[in-house]
Structure 1
Amino acid sequence: MSSSDSYQPNDAVLALASKLFDLAREGETETLAAYLAAGAPADLTNQKGDSLIMLAAYHGHAATVRALLEHGGDPNRVNDRGQSPLAGAVFKGEEEVVRALLDGGANPDLGSPSARETAKMFGRAELFGRPN
């Protein structure tokens, strides 16, 4: 295999990645944490650049977000559209997820639009401790 060849994961690797994305989306914290403890990457991203944290955050699973952060997941990893997990949580109005991400070091000014801009657009500035 030359350096110009692209790595093509086999079916088992793709099935495991798909399972991890589903666990994040569904908030299956204990099962996902077991995979992370066994060595699954906390910053795994799908074909759109959505990380496990992005999927958990967008679907409102604060405990899953916290578990991913505890295993080294990056709260500031933006997807291919420049969206941050924090902006996704703000968009969805997921207060507990917003708090988990902020506690985990998420930058409210990262991404396009940023979480702070998203909060302003949707009248959710209180998510950052300020009234509208």
Structure 2
Amino acid sequence: MIHNPQTTIHAARVGNIEVLQELIRLKADLNASDEKGYTPLIIACYNHQYPAAKLLIEHGAKVNLQDHGGNTALMGAAFKGYLGIVALLISNGADLDLQHGNGGTALMFAAMFGRNEVLSLLLQNGANKEILDSRGLSVMDLAAQQGNEAAIKLLKTSYR
């Protein structure tokens, strides 16, 4: 029962470091997913559990795994605007340009939801602003749809 992915995912969701450390000691699979494809790292990042995310990564959690919708830990953190977690994921090799099922990227999430500090960090680290989603829309188009003038300015002044 201790190796049930739900146990690890729950500990990650609530940031229970002690339980995560015990699961790591017992060699729990840190990349196991639930019925939606959520991994402990995806859940920790989405729920703003920086210490849990850091611990999971340090012990082998893969940063680029995608849930069944194609979402990654980076996309979740960008959507929520968790700058510190985005920086942690980037520094541990997160693929900035992965696309989910509808073609969206972390950069697109940041632009659509006004997470402009995250948008700036992603651009500084080389996120591709030319990628189009499944509707043929770019991050610039999505920022414009949302009236996100700050994002438009950032996108126009970034080099890539």
The unaligned stretches of length 5 or more in structure 1 are: 1-11
Picking from 93, 98, 110, the partner of 1:110 is: 98
Cα offsets for 1:11-34 (capped at 9, x unmatched): x367x3322111010011232022
Distance 1:77 1:56 in 2: 13
Higher RCO, 1 or 2 (CA under 8 Å, sep at least 6)? 1
Distance 1:124 1:48 in 2: 25
The unaligned stretches of length 5 or more in structure 2 are: 124-149, 152-160
Letter in 2 for 1:76: N
Aligned alpha-carbon RMSD (Å): 1.7
Query: Does the Cα contact within 8 Å between 2:83 and 2:117 map onto a contact in 1?
Result: no
Residue 3 of structure 1 aligns with which residue? none
Cα offsets for 1:71-107 (capped at 9, x unmatched): 1111100100011110101111111111111111111
Is residue 2:115 matched to residue 1:124? yes
Query: Normalising by the residue count of structure 2, what TM-score does the alignment of the two structures yield?
Result: 0.69
Picking from 57, 72, 88, the partner of 1:69 is: 57
Runs of 4+ aligned residues of structure 1 deviating over 4 Å after TM superposition are none
Query: Normalising by the residue count of structure 1, what TM-score does the alignment of the two structures yield?
Result: 0.82
Letter in 2 for 1:85: A
Correspondences of 1:8-19 after superposition (within 5 Å): 12=1, 16-19=4-7
Distance 1:125 1:37 in 2: 39
Picking from 53, 59, 63, the partner of 2:47 is: 59
